Amino acid sequence: MAKTLRSILAEPKAVIGGGFILLLILVAIFAPYLAPKDPLEQDLMLGTLPPAGNAGAEPGYWFGTDDLGRDVLSRLIYGSRIALIVAFVAAGLSALVGTTLGLLAGWYRGWVDVVISRLVDIWMAFPPVLLSILLVAVFGSGVHSVIAAIVIIDWTRFCRVVRSETMAQASQDYVTAAKTIGFPSFTILMREVLPNVAPVLIALVSLEMGIAVIVEAILSFVGLSVSSDTPTWGGMIAQGRQIVHHGWWVLVAPLVVLFATVLAFNQLGDGLRRALDPMMRR
């Protein structure tokens, strides 16, 4: 465990990306204490105030206000909650479903592999963004619907990777030795194969979190995520696009945070892959 931790800390990408995500998690948890204003409080007299340092700025509104007079910084802080909830829950459930099916397909082969592989091929034939919009439109708006849509779409990503890794591990000598000793097949799969697939899986989960953040932002942008009153980065981008000529900060602020978050998840995933993969450490 200590050796693994040292390997992760030795990877700059994992440290920088993980540090940013950790900071974002703390911001989301302590949002009521960090947000300078109520994110839902409206004051039309303070609409489209520019950020601090610009002419016409008001004290206390560091990132300015939107056209309804709501504090942009406070809405960014509270928007991180929705983004992280969707990222962690959707990625976790997608990994659970995809890993289970991938392990079964890669280990048992035969008709199990054929059925699961054909299901994956059919599922991946649908455009993911359009399918997610369709699913949320059917399920109804809300965080649960967004998470369900992401899981239904992205479990295939985990299934294909885990299936390939499981097949590669199944041909290794340690699996042959375990079979010779007489270990049950399922025990070998869980205790021997899965731990060796885990490094790739952990990196893939991190990358999936970034994808989930983007999907949630897209659905919020088109009004199919949570209610319009709830602060979300995608909703802020949609609103900022309408007033970009006289309130550019309303669009730029969530775009920058969204880009930084997705980049951090990607860097974390790449760093974890390098730190946990024995072949890449050599």
User: What average pLDDT does this structure show over 147-161?
Assistant: 90
CATH code, domain carrying 210: 1.10.3720.10
Q: Which residue has the tokens 């998840």?
A: 265
pLDDT exceeds cutoff 80 at 188: yes
Number of independent structural domains in the chain: 1
pLDDT exceeds cutoff 70 at 1: no
Answer whether 65's CB lies under 8 Å from 42's CB.
no
Amino acid found at 147: I
Q: Among 6-10, 113-117, 243-247, which is the least confidently predicted range?
A: 6-10
Q: What is the CA 215 to chain-centroid distance, rounded? A: 9
pLDDT, greater one: 222 or 73: 73
Which domain does 122 fall in, by range? 2-281
3-state SS assignment for residue 182: coil
Nearest to 16 by CA among 250, 260, 246, 229: 260
